[in-house]
A and B are shown apart, each in its own frame.
Chain A
Amino acid sequence: QLVESGGGLVQPGGSLRLSCAASGFTFSKYNMFWVRQAPGKALQYVSEISYNGGGTYYGNSVKGRFTIFRDNSKNMLYLRMGSLRPEDTAVYHCARRAEYDIWSDGHYMDIWGHGTTVTVSS
């Protein structure tokens, strides 16, 4: 399972670090995602990290402000969020990437956490 933590209320321009604790599977074998849902809005991809941390990818709305990283020795995924804006207010979910076609990029998100709430407001 995946359990997120670290959300809270932060002022615009502030920073926050989210955590995601993984259990029940070999964490170091999987790429991981952060996906968010703003109030009343759809799910939105935030970031992805490769199984060994060697590759990191970001959505355009967070590029340059957020950093994804992981500690495989602790089965932990993180999201460091900086220069926060009101539009970053959302529930943040971590999710595991499952591959169904190793010859292409075919994948889906097979395990999700319940999420942690981030509110950016003065």
Chain B
Amino acid sequence: DIQMTQSPSSLSASVGDRVTITCRASQKISTYLNWYQHKPGEAPKVLIFAASNVQSGVPSRFSGSGSGTHFTLTISTLKPEDFATYYCQQSYSGPPTFGQGTRLEIK
């Protein structure tokens, strides 16, 4: 199975900050990379699919980039509702696999 590794595992930031989360794949996956936001007790929500496509209804402050093995999720200006855990997930081959998550906390 393809292994997905996110960094950092946790991150403290303030409202208004710009934040970048990194995801690396254990092999090349082209742009078959998705990003999700998950808050405790809620359903996970897709933010970005195919590395850089913003899902309908997702605010424009969220953006994604990358291809091959290196990907990033950027939140341009943090809002209070953005504090959550973020996961990357590959759909290139085999079973879908997720990164270990990045917990974004309020500083």
Query: Chain A interface (Cβ within 8 Å of chain B)?
Result: 2, 33, 35, 42-45, 57, 59-60, 93, 95, 98, 100-101, 104-110, 112-115
Main secondary structure of the interface of B (DSSP, over half): loop
Chain B min CB distance to A55 (Å)? 13
Q: Please state if B36 and A43 are interface contacts (CB–CB under 8 Å).
A: yes
Q: In the complex, A5→B91 CA distance in Å? A: 27
Main secondary structure of the interface of A (DSSP, over half): strand
- Most chain B CB within a 10 A radius of its CB, from A57, A108, A109, A113: A108
A/B interface sample: 13 pairs, CB < 8 A = A35-B44, A42-B100, A45-B98, A60-B95, A93-B43, A100-B49, A104-B32, A105-B92, A106-B32, A106-B50, A110-B46, A110-B55, A112-B45
Q: Contact mask B23-48 → A, CB, 8 Å, 1/0?
A: 00000000010101010011111100
Number of chain B residues whose Cβ lies closer than 8 Å to a Cβ of chain A: 27
With A43-B38, A114-B41, A114-B43 as known contacts, state yes or no: A108 contacts B89, CB within 8 Å: yes
Chain B min CB distance to A20 (Å)? 12
Q: Contact mask B64-100 → A, CB, 8 Å, 1/0?
A: 0000000000000000000000010101110111111
Point out the residues of chain A lying under 8 angstroms from B34, CB to CB: 108-109
Point out the residues of chain A lying under 8 angstroms from B53, CB to CB: 100
